[in-house]
Structure 1
Amino acid sequence: MRKLSTLSKSGLVTGSAIAAALVLAAAPANAAPTWTVSGGGTFTGTSTNSVLTDSNTGTQLKCTSSTAKGSATNGTNLPGAGIGSITSVTWTNCTGPLNITFTVTAQGLPWALNAVSYAAPVTTGTLTGVKAHISGTGCTADFGGATSGSTATLDVKYNNTTHVLSLLGTGNLHAWSVSGLCLGLINSGDATGYKGDYSLSPATLNITSP
């Protein structure tokens, strides 16, 4: 058998490279997970165990109840980002250190509910765009993201069986603009966590992914 000429070898190599490029171009990119929402629409979530904790000092702000209202639109092949939204949040009977009574005000609404992963019956995700302000006797503070004025991302999960949206106490929530009696108990720049289990009504929302 005759040896291939240098030109022939070069042609074969070039042809192989072109063929490989065509195969790669024809291959579909890894598609992002798609999501299905059923039983959606507007909902109201109620929590009786809402707790804000300063991770650096251990200081806690507890509220006897919290109500969140939001919505999720029914559909298939939906992106996980913005699969739902929280349009209002209120807290009642909130107390902190030194028995100070606080008013908590949600800011930056609506907050986006985002689906990230699914292991039946639980969807794990995030709540983004979060900001809030607290005020009490001689004590005020803002809460947001990792830098002053930014919004926070909170880790959440939603259970299709119990219809409970849980805020897990993790994410990048921080305290800012702390003043008055809060100083030393809560400090500007302190990492904080917010936990609460919100039971949804009507109990119909289902979020799934193949």
Structure 2
Amino acid sequence: MRKLTKSTTVAAAALTAALGMTAGSASAAGTWTATPGGAWTAKATSPKLLDTRTGTQLTCSSSSAAGTLQSGSGLSGTGISSITSVSWTSCTGPLGITFTVTPNGLPWSLNAVSYNSATGVTTGTLTGVKAHISGAGCTADFAGPTSATPATLTGTYSNSTHTLSLSGGDLHAYNVSGTCLGLLNNGDAATYTANYVLNGSQTITSP
């Protein structure tokens, strides 16, 4: 996340690599299969962070993520994968201000909730999300419903395209200071949108 531009755009479903989702009935039961599993890396082009109240947008040229996917069958959807590292490159916002983005609270957990066998797409959540942005006198933290609570993002993972798409969720801005004020405000809801394409094939299914 390193680009803040006043404009509205954000969406898709999948980051940080193997899938993201909150626990539901399917995830609670050990009905998931993941192959081959193990370590994965992924990259997203032009991920965006949008303040949905002010329309301020931060856009990065790219984001890289890495993590681990469980392997085998009879797996729980909860924590079926994790994001152990994530970084953003060349992030900018209004007036061309350059930002750096730092993830907090890693690893983040990817949770499978439901599976569509017709499309090969798993829906779920990415939990534990927190991040800090800074640049040209502007700083802000992003977390969940409160500054002390990590955010949960919604997402999907496609077996055919090996893409983890992230969007939606309960991300909010906190501790906003400096030139960010007005562009971002304390308590503003925000959306992070990115499509992370895995560097390799990983398949996740459930009956």
Please, what TM-score do these two structures have when normalized by structure 1? 0.83
Per-residue deviation, 1:49: 2.1
Residue identity matched to 2:44: S
Residue identity matched to 2:191: G
Gaps of 5+ in 1: 1-29
Identity value in percent: 61
Aligned to 2:106: 109
Q: C-alpha offsets along residues 78-119 of structure 1, whole Å, 9 cap, x if unaligned? A: 111000000000000000112110000011000000000000
Gaps of 5+ in 2: 1-25
Aligned to 2:194: 196
Residue identity matched to 1:171: G
Aligned to 1:140: 139
Provide the rounded CA distance (Å) in 2 between the counterparts of 1:145 and 1:32.
27
Aligned to 2:165: 166
Alignment of 1:126 onto 2:125? yes
Judge conservation of contact 1:43–1:201 (CA < 8 Å) in 2: yes
Residue identity matched to 2:62: S
Aligned to 1:35: 32
Q: C-alpha offsets along residues 137-164 of structure 1, whole Å, 9 cap, x if unaligned? A: 0100000001112100000100000000
Provide the rounded CA distance (Å) in 2 between the counterparts of 1:145 and 1:174.
6
Provide the rounded CA distance (Å) in 1 between the counterparts of 2:99 and 2:46.
16
Give the secondary-structure state (helix, strand or coil) at the position aligned to 2:127: strand
Provide the rounded CA distance (Å) in 2 between the counterparts of 1:33 and 1:78.
4
Aligned to 2:151: 152
Provide the rounded CA distance (Å) in 1 between the counterparts of 2:74 and 2:198.
23
Q: C-alpha offsets along residues 114-142 of structure 1, whole Å, 9 cap, x if unaligned? A: 00000031000000000000000010000
Provide the rounded CA distance (Å) in 2 between the counterparts of 1:111 and 1:90.
13
Give the secondary-structure state (helix, strand or coil) at the position aligned to 1:171: coil
Per-residue deviation, 1:32: 3.1
Task: Count matched residues.
Answer: 179
Provide the rounded CA distance (Å) in 2 between the counterparts of 1:33 and 1:54.
37
Provide the rounded CA distance (Å) in 2 between the counterparts of 1:49 and 1:125.
22
Alignment of 1:81 onto 2:98? no
Question: 1 or 2, which has the higher helix percentage?
Answer: 1
Aligned to 1:6: none
* Rg larger for: 1
**Measured at CA, do residues 196 and 143 of structure 1 come closer, stay the same or move farther in structure 2, by a change above 3 Å?**
same
Give the secondary-structure state (helix, strand or coil) at the position aligned to 2:145: coil
Provide the rounded CA distance (Å) in 2 between the counterparts of 1:157 and 1:91.
20
Per-residue deviation, 1:33: 6.0
Provide the rounded CA distance (Å) in 1 between the counterparts of 2:90 and 2:68.
26
Judge conservation of contact 1:33–1:209 (CA < 8 Å) in 2: no
Please, what TM-score do these two structures have when normalized by structure 2? 0.84
